[in-house]
């Protein structure tokens, strides 16, 4: 998967999670730029990204 495909997949996930079919992602985007981004939607976003990309994020802290 190249960067363009990854962005397209992420865009699909964001549009679904935030129920914003016209949402356009950009490199400088933050949570403040997305309407209705709250802590619950943040968790939903993480889970949706994990499913879409078949990955698993960890909360374990790496040793310093």
For residue 49, what pLDDT is reported? 97
Reply yes or no on whether the pLDDT at 64 is more than 80. no
Instruction: Compare 60 and 26 and report the one with higher pLDDT.
Output: 26
Reply yes or no on whether the pLDDT at 5 is more than 90. yes
Nearest Cα neighbor of 15 from 35, 32, 1, 30 is 35
Q: Where are the domains of the chain?
A: 3-53
For residue 60, what pLDDT is reported? 80
Euclidean distance between the first and the last CA atom of the chain, given in angstroms as a whole number: 32
* Burial of 34 per CB tally in 10 Å (0-12, 13-18, 19+): middle
| CATH class of this structure's domain 3-53 | mainly alpha
Determine which helix (DSSP H) or strand (DSSP E) holds 48, and give its type and residue range.
helix 39-53
pLDDT digits (tens, 9 = 90+) for 19-56: 999 999 999 999 999 999 999 999 999 999 999 999 99
């Amino acid at each position: 998967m190249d960067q363009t495909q990854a962005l397209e997949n992420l865009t699909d996930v964001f549009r679904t999670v935030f129920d914003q079919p016209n949402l356009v992602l950009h490199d400088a985007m933050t949570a403040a730029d997305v309407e209705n981004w709250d802590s619950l939607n943040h968790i939903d976003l993480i889970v949706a990204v994990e499913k879409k990309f078949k990955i698993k994020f960890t909360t374990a802290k790496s040793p310093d």
